[in-house]
């Protein structure tokens, strides 16, 4: 009986993530952390524990997991098909994962990154101030079959709770703000960016996401080379061929491509979660509007706990209820492709 999660099978992009490690930017190490920080907040609210606790981030698909002892779990982010011993589990909800039961999490049904949270959080060794894996920097590695993760003590008890997650899993409108290189692009080019539909390219990961514009690419006027300058997640880099590339949580810390704008931090999860083929559109907002948007987003995160409600025992939603399925003994067991 140990407090751990055993990984029997894992998709290629399952990594431990938290809020990342600020403070190393000057040493060339970006903050990193979860691609969708809202999902971390939702998981923390569902389990009524601090947002700093580390969770499993599952890119595209999950895997098969087993708890060493009874454990509370929560599922957030990109909805994925999940079941325990064949009984389906509701997404955006907390559940009890009994010791020895098999938790199966399949492919994302919208969005990219799903999250598996555990009561007490994962208690792996802290590396440079955080548990987040930063693959590009060689800090930790994606999980593989046979790995076991220690889980911290859980001081909560409640499960069977749900909340309404903001739908950020299918692209849409993304607010951006001018940054210090935006004026390298003339006004017509900036206006054209707002008017252009962009398609999320299949080439995208925790470092950056490529967006294919409808029509021509974008070009800085004069095409002068810019001095390599600090990069932050959300920056929209225009690469040599004119394609916008949004830098994500695990991006490099400096870069020489000009940046036409920066995605608001509160809208970055929408970019991270836009699946390949999803349509996105950028809209410039003023600094004041941006600050106000961040304030609203912070208040919404802080209010998640107030919006918790029990999973309803609606007969139409019975398959969602772990407790019901365990009692009834009904198992499907066929939802793993």
Partner 1 sequence: MTEDRPHTAAFPAIVTAGVDGMLVRFADRLSEPANRAALAFRAAVEAAGWDGVEETSSSLVSAYLRFDPLHVGHETLRARLTELLEARDWYETDLPEGRRFWRIPAVFGVDLAPQLGDAAKAAGMTEAEAITSLTSARVRVQTIGFAPGQPYLGELPEAWDIPRQSALTTRIPEGALGLAIRQMVLFSVATPTGWQHVGQTAIRLFQPEAETPFLVRPGDEVQFHEVGADALEQMREDPMGGAESEPIP
Residues that bind partner 1 (CB under 8 A): 22-29, 31, 127-128, 136-139, 177-180, 224, 227-230, 232, 234-235, 240, 252-255, 262, 264-265, 287, 290-291, 294-295, 298
- Whose Cβ is closer to partner 1: residue 144's or residue 298's? 298
Rounded to the nearest whole angstrom, what is the least distance from the CB of residue 119 to partner 1 in the complex?
28
User: DSSP 3-state assignment of 28?
Assistant: coil
Rounded to the nearest whole angstrom, what is the least distance from the CB of residue 156 to partner 1 in the complex?
28
Nearest residue to 89 (alpha-carbon basis) of 15, 101, 100 = 101
- Whose Cβ is closer to partner 1: residue 6's or residue 25's? 25
- Whose Cβ is closer to partner 1: residue 240's or residue 315's? 240
User: DSSP 3-state assignment of 304?
Assistant: helix
Rounded to the nearest whole angstrom, what is the least distance from the CB of residue 128 to partner 1 in the complex?
6
Rounded to the nearest whole angstrom, what is the least distance from the CB of residue 209 to partner 1 in the complex?
17
- Whose Cβ is closer to partner 1: residue 99's or residue 230's? 230
For the CA atoms of 15, 19, 20, 23, the dihedral, rounded to the nearest 10 degrees, stands at 180
C-alpha–C-alpha distance, residues 3 and 153, integer Å: 8
- Whose Cβ is closer to partner 1: residue 27's or residue 314's? 27
With a CB cutoff of 8 Å and minimum separation 6, the contacts of 101 are 66, 67, 84, 85
Rounded to the nearest whole angstrom, what is the least distance from the CB of residue 131 to partner 1 in the complex?
13
Rounded to the nearest whole angstrom, what is the least distance from the CB of residue 324 to partner 1 in the complex?
42
Question: Where does residue 80 rank: exposed (0-12), middle (13-18), buried (19+ CB within 10 A)?
Answer: buried
Rounded to the nearest whole angstrom, what is the least distance from the CB of residue 293 to partner 1 in the complex?
8
- Whose Cβ is closer to partner 1: residue 170's or residue 265's? 265
- Whose Cβ is closer to partner 1: residue 49's or residue 262's? 262
**How would DSSP label each residue in 226-267?**
PPPEE--TTEEEE-TTS-EEEE-TT--SEE-S-EEEEE-GGG
Contact (Cβ atoms closer than 8 angstroms) between residue 97 and residue 50: no
C-alpha–C-alpha distance, residues 263 and 120, integer Å: 32
For the beta sheet containing 4-10, the strands, ordered from the edge strand earlier in sequence to the opposite edge, are 87-89, 80-84, 102-108, 61-67, 4-10, 148-150
* Element at 106 (helix H, strand E): strand 102-108
């Amino acid at each position: 009986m140990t407090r751990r999660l055993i990984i029997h099978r894992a998709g290629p992009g399952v990594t431990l993530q938290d809020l990342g490690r600020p403070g190393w930017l000057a040493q060339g190490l970006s903050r990193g952390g979860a691609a969708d920080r809202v999902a971390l907040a939702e998981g923390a609210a569902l389990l009524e524990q601090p947002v700093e606790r580390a969770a499993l981030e599952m890119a595209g698909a999950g895997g098969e997991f087993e708890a060493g002892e009874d454990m509370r779990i929560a599922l957030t982010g990109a909805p994925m098909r999940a079941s325990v011993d064949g009984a389906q589990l509701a997404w955006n909800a907390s559940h009890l994962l009994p010791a020895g039961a098999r938790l199966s999490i399949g492919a994302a049904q919208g969005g990219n990154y799903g999250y598996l949270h555990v009561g007490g959080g994962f208690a792996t060794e802290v590396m440079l101030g955080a548990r987040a894996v930063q693959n590009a920097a060689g800090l930790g590695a994606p999980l593989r079959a046979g790995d076991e993760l220690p889980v911290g003590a859980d001081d909560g008890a409640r499960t069977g709770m749900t909340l309404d997650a903001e739908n950020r899993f299918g692209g849409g409108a993304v607010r951006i703000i001018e940054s210090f290189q935006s004026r390298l692009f003339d006004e017509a080019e900036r206006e054209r960016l707002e008017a252009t539909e962009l398609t999320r390219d299949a080439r995208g990961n925790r470092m950056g996401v490529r967006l294919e514009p409808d029509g021509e690419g974008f070009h800085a006027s004069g095409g002068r080379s810019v001095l390599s300058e600090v990069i932050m997640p959300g920056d929209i880099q225009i690469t040599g061929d004119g394609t916008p590339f949004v830098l994500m949580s695990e991006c490099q810390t400096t870069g020489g491509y000009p940046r036409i704008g920066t995605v608001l931090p509160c809208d970055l999860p929408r970019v991270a979660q836009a699946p390949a083929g999803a349509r996105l559109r950028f809209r410039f907002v003023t600094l004041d509007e941006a600050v106000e948007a961040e304030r609203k987003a912070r208040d919404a995160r802080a209010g998640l706990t107030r919006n918790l409600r029990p999973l309803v025992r609606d007969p139409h939603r019975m398959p969602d209820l772990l407790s019901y399925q365990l009692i009834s003994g009904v198992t499907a067991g066929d939802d793993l492709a």
